[in-house]
Every structure is written in C-alpha cells, then in structure tokens.
Amino acid sequence: MTDEPSTPPTHSAPTKRLRHLIFEWVIILLAALVVSVGLRTFALQTFYIPSGSMEPTLLVGDRIIVDKLAVDWGTINRGDILVFKSPPTENCGGAPVADLVKRVIGLPGDRLYSIGNTIYVNGQALKENWPHSEPLGNAIATAANPVIVSPNHYFMMGDNHADSCDSRMWGTITHSEIIGKAFLRVWPVTRIGSL
C-alpha cells in the first residue's frame, strides 16, 4: 500500500485577496454605521423646518443641525434655539408634530409678562438681539399675574411672534423634553450659516 501525497487546496491567491478585501469593507461599513447611529443618537441630528413660526430666522424648508450634547453637558441660555419633543398639551389646530423648534425666552425662576409688543423678564424689557417679527400677538401674561418659570423648565417662543404656537398656549417645557440646541443651518445652500 502506497501513500499518495495529499493535494494542497486549490485556492488561488487572487481569490484570497478578494475575500480579504470584502471582509475589510464589511468591517469598515459596519464601523461607519455604528459611528453614524451613535452620532445621531447621542451627539448631532438634522431637523427640517415645516412651518413659519421661527421666521425670519428659520424659513419653511430650512434644515438645521442640532447639538444634543450641548443640553446634557452645556448650559441653556436665553436666546438659544432648541428642538424639543412636542408637549402633550400642544393643540394649536394643525397636524400633530413630534418635535418643535422655538427660542428660549424664559429660564428657571424667571417672571414673564408682556405689555403691548414688549416682553418683560424679571421686570426688565427683553432685548431681543435676534431677528423676530412683531406684533407680539397673544400676550404672555399680565404684570399683576406673571408666568413664573418653574425649576428645570423653559418658556419657549417662536421668532414670528404673532404666528407661533408656543409656551403662551401650552406652557413651559421641561429639561427632559429638550432634544438639543440648534447651531447650524445647512440647507438651502444659499442660507448656510450659524444660528
């Protein structure tokens, strides 16, 4: 009985290289997907502006980028533009939306009211150093009975004051409802810029 020599596998070098290359690309694509989902979940997200409530700052069809980490690790200041979950009490007559975009007018502990087109915060006229449209429209409250912003809450208002369904109608929002701070408009190309 004679031993026959074993035949080596017939895999050619090009086939091995192709398999290796495919494996590398699968790993790269999976890593990119994980990074992308991670960024969207924890750091940055884009949003579309569906209404004119933030005109002239944000127009219908604009796309913005929101920084989610700025809410958890940073501070929220008067004048910041926030994206937040639509409050359950939001009922302004339009189609229901999941998320809203408005500007912070009142911080925790603030006392807000309005007289005519002037908004008062803690007894001082609010200097709106950002583009906005008047008239004010719905009043915030009276000087005798101001809105007092609770701890961990924020009073939100659209820049298009008369055409915005905001905290004047549905009250303040909580910190936990905030998704992130809008910081960049990325669409349309002619309007790219920081917010």
Give the span between the Cα atoms of 142 and 151, in whole angstroms: 21
Q: Which of 51, 68, 102, 114 is labelled catalytic?
A: 102
CA dihedral in degrees (55, 57, 62, 65; nearest 10)? -140
Give the span between the Cα atoms of 54 and 101, in whole angstroms: 8
Q: Looking at the chain, list the stretches that DSSP marks H as alpha helix, in order from N- to C-terminal side.
A: 13-42, 69-73, 167-170
Nearest in space to 81 (alpha carbons), one of 101, 59, 61, 60: 101
Is 133 among the residues known to form the active site?
no
Angle at CA of residue 62, ends 60 and 65, nearest 5°? 140
Q: Which of 53, 133, 164, 167 is labelled catalytic?
A: 53
Is 12 among the residues known to form the active site?
no
Residues with catalytic annotation?
A: 53, 102
